[in-house]
Amino acid sequence: MKRILFLAIMLAGTLSVKAQFTKLDRHPVIPVEYDAVFVDHVRNFVGGVIRSSYGQFFGQITPQGELTGYGTFYTDRDGEIVGQFYNGQLIVGIKQGNDIVKVGTETHYAVYDLRTAELLYIIKDGEKYLPDADHKEAWKYGQLKYANGGKYVGELVNGKRDGFGIYYYADGDHYFGRYSDNRPVGYGAMFKTDNSVVIQKWENKSEE
């Protein structure tokens, strides 16, 4: 637990640098070392379903019943929330409401309009950054459908999967993770229809 807290503090520290929008990331670039330690911490937590007054959680649960690991919250108030959780709180991921979606951490995230797929603004350390024309055209949040019955919902750069997203398979499974140049990269989680969660690491593998 100390390692997780240390890395969370380290990650928060990377958010304090001021930048012009042309150099601003949509959300923090999370070090591979952080993801590796997080995955090492949660790898053996089982997948399950917990219902509460807030909503229904589907994902990894500690032996003590804490919502820690990869998961999805289905809520009436905040919509669908998917990503990495620690003690029930989202560390990084996607919060999708009716009209907008937020992608990133609590202090550094991109906000998109679900009706137009456009990037509206980026929040970083309490500051609001409006996109310039080039980024507004290139950075989107939308859907891509495939001949195999699969569907991707998530961040796009120039029409390609890039950023955080969810890939829905025809058999009902879905995968959450990061993408770069149309390919899944690094660590992510496969949510199976039997309520199990399988953590995966991608290295130059295509998803089709």
- Assigned token pair, 130: 């409006």
- Assigned token pair, 39: 């995955």
Range of the domain at 139: 2-202
Domain count, the chain: 1
Q: Hey, which residues does 18 pair with through a beta bridge?
A: none
| φ/ψ (deg, to 5) at 118 | -80, 150
SS3 3: helix
Q: CA angle at residue 139 from 135 to 142, to 5 degrees?
A: 155
Per-residue pLDDT of the chain in tens (208 residues, 90 and over written 9): 445 443 443 444 444 434 456 678 999 988 888 899 999 999 999 999 999 888 999 999 999 999 999 999 999 888 999 999 999 899 999 999 999 999 999 999 999 999 999 999 999 999 999 999 999 999 999 999 999 999 999 999 999 999 999 999 999 999 999 999 999 999 999 999 998 999 999 875 444 4
Q: Hey, which residues does 57 pair with through a beta bridge?
A: 50, 73
- What lies within 8 Å, CB to CB, of 83 at 6+ separation is 70, 71, 90, 91, 92, 93, 94, 164, 176
Instruction: Answer yes or no: is 207 within a domain.
Output: no
Instruction: Answer yes or no: is 153 within a domain.
Output: yes
pTM of the model: 0.86
- What lies within 8 Å, CB to CB, of 188 at 6+ separation is 70, 175, 176, 177, 178, 199, 200, 201, 202
Residue 165 — left, alpha, or beta (φ > 0 → left; ψ -120 to 50 → alpha)?
beta
- Rounded Cα distance between 49 and 76, Å, is 16
Instruction: Answer yes or no: is 208 within a domain.
Output: no
> Which tens digits make up the pLDDT trace of 63-89?
999 999 999 999 988 899 999 999 989
| φ/ψ (deg, to 5) at 27 | -160, 170
Instruction: Answer yes or no: is 34 within a domain.
Output: yes
Give the per-residue pLDDT at 17.
39
